[in-house]
Structure 1
Amino acid sequence: MDKKSLHLMQSFLTCLDILSLNVIFCIACYHFEQQLVKGLFFYYALFMFYLNISWLCTALITGQYSEKNIPFSERLARRSFHTYVYFLLMGFAYLFFSHQAYISRLFTTVVLIGFTMALFFNRFLYALICGYYKRTGDGAEKIVIVGYNEVSKKLATHLENDPVSKHIVGFCESPGNVKELSHYPILGNVTDVVTVCRKYGVTEIYSTIPPRQNPEIIRLINDADFNCIRFKVIPDLNHFIPRFGHIDYLDDDLPVISLRHEPLEDAGSRIKKRIFDIIFSSAVTLLVLSWLFPLIAILIKLSSKGPVFFIQKRAGRNNKVFNVFKFRTLKHESEAQDFRQVSKNDNRVFKVGRFLRKTNLDELPQFLNVLAGQMSVCGPRPHPLPLNDTYKMVVDKFMVRHFLKPGITGWAQVNGLRGETENKWKMTKRIEADLWYLENWSFWLDIKIIFLTIFNMIRGEKNAF
């Protein structure tokens, strides 16, 4: 599905859910005005605002409206259920911790039940709309694929997952080049493409045959322009590039293909991320670390002899080495030994240190690294140098993660890929998550990672030890 359609569906569903929540809340206020709400509008308005923020935050954390879930009704329904469960927990937490005696429990029950029914109706309506477009193809761009080869079959499979906005009419290829039954009809030769398009009302042509292989493609491009039909070329780059990268241009006429799309290569994105790092780290330092640092330092001193901080050299952006700060969690004499990852029930970890590691509080001093510009709040976790030396020779693309500043938390960590990496498979999965973050970074992804990190700290993680 194209970006425009995805964003439209994201906006539609988001607005529909928020509108439903607020309409149900207002109807309940109107119905209970005399018995429950009269004279207490401020408290109910505050609760209404909280519910709106809670729904948006939980939807962001679960990825309910993400591009991966929006096009698929079943996946969206599962995510909606998870979001609603978290939403209920946040609603109950507000009533419990705020001690709001003014908010009626009956009123709250009516709103939550009403919102449940509204969500069911919204998903049902969404499924009906998607089903209608899948059956009729109304509103979908009709497509003809030029060429029948591995690239065209892969393209057809991809477009089949987008029946709402794309509808494949068939292939155009010389009969002698088709050696098997095709899933879609062969509508004619390559030379017949424009005629076929006019016959079936096709608005887009995808060519998997490069112009150098068949000079007829050049004529087809001109004919398509003349007949107001979009012509797109799908290059086969698999012979020298394992996956499609990012195309840029020098002087508007010299294409340059990067092996991967890196949003943070854009100077504006890097500035935006750096500003957020400074604001967020400054807030944490002033509001939390100013009083928590001395408390943790005292606990460490009382529990184990040695310094409060543990300083270790790690590799940062562009593989530059820097000193990373942590609260010390190992017995001081153990740190002088050769590097060894901390494992479950490791006897080198003292009691307070185990608590700090379990809650990630040992990482708090790294906000100082962020303020110094050596790290970011979100990014690939920096590894000790011996760990880098061990795995960079055996894990493919291992060093690509160093294109970014390392982070206090990251996409790998919030997906459970943290802790000891005692084998190649675990490290490979972590690297895959780091590379996904590198290629898909956005400001909102960083916000999501921060929320998930806080949620995991409260819930507890089995790999934190």
Structure 2
Amino acid sequence: MNTKSAHSSAVPQGGFIRQHHSMLVALHQLTDVLLTWGLLALFVKIAGQPWTVSYQMAAFLSSILYHILANKNGLYLSWRGQSLFTEVRTVTSTWMLVIGSLLTVVFLFDLENDYGGGVMIAWALAMPLTISLYRVSARMVLREFRRAGVNTRRVAIVGAKEPGITLAKNIINSAWMGMEISGFYDNRVSVGSHPLAGEGKEASKLQVVGDIELLKKEARAGNFDDIYIALPMREEDTIKELVEALSNSSCCVHIVPDVFTFKMLNARSREIGGLPVVSVYDTPFDSFDSAVKRIEDVLLSSIILCLIAVPMLIIAAAVKFTSPGPIIFKQRRYGINGEEIEVWKFRSMTTCDNGDVVKQATKGDVRITKVGAFIRKTSLDELPQFINVLQGSMSIVGPRPHAVAHNELYRDKIDGYMQRHLVKPGITGWAQINGWRGETDTLEKMEKRVECDLEYIAKWSVWLDIKIVAYTLFKGFVNPLAY
């Protein structure tokens, strides 16, 4: 295990599995649907019965109901750190609810004669066994990936006493979870001490690498994937201040509370080796929703790019022949997880500010060209960003990406500012259609924009995206605040 302090290592980039987690979730869901239909069709064929509409309806209703209940029971969330027994038990209980609901429909509508008893019993018993076997196989494959160093997550533990020590032991004893501990951070314990001395060769290497202030700096630098706050609840002031400070990082933050506090907390929780943790800041798209949104982006951006190809060529020519400079301006901005991306725009100014200091455009700005004034006013300068969407660095709908210089300015002034980066930035967003667009010459304007962005993340749905796109078409392109 690598016990080297995070501040002396490179920013973790994540493995293939982590980067494609949403696609793996989609695979889980697709497999469940195929098993539901496939097993029933198999048993019907073995019994020599016809594949009737009744059987098809049973498969259809069961697959839909299982999908809904499985989502509700968290089967499509990450099970990293949780026991196999708990996962299998959840699969079984979910399927039992599906079968119970199906039997209720059959008896209510007097459909008993439409189904063969032996077929339905065999199907009802085989489904949880088959799904569980599939999930066990998937776990074994993922375990081998993680043992090979793929799909690992770099974690930091705040608190070098109980329950932080217990958490560290659980992680060390469960190498299959793919978690790599960077070290402990604690104000109460001297730097360089070894809280797990005597607990084995690997455990003894772990040490207190710094205090909480150092943790904040390293979190801002993106040196961790997950941070576990394992401080006693009597230090609530320290925990509160730390949680607020970590809102301006792109790390997933979790609290490891004591048992009595855990029972009172109304928050999403999970387990790490049997120890309960509560997610304070976590990505909202850690499920099939991310795959749905990606499909939405690819389809819409492909269609839109076909429709706007000619207008883009005309705009490109106008930019090229009316002022010196490149046609496309690529500005450094923050994307998902706070990673730097290049956002494409048609150049609308005589300068291409892209450094540590970026001056926002103001009304009557002398840097704006004549063509630039028009395409900025009508948002036509944003059209090349559909290429960013197709590339995967942006989404059609999401928080608007700000210049890197502006991010560094506002992350210390607005609580929760960096939480905007738990999702991909968008071409349009909830803030833009609510009027918070253009120059943010006051802190209050930026606070309102961030407030809308966080509201969008909390309430996201496909229908909300459609609503935002529709509003953008009617009121989002031309805006008097877009200078």
The TM-score bracket by the shorter chain reads: 0.3 to 0.5
Q: TM-score, structure 1 length as denominator?
A: 0.45
Structure whose CA Rg is larger: 1
Q: TM-score, structure 2 length as denominator?
A: 0.43
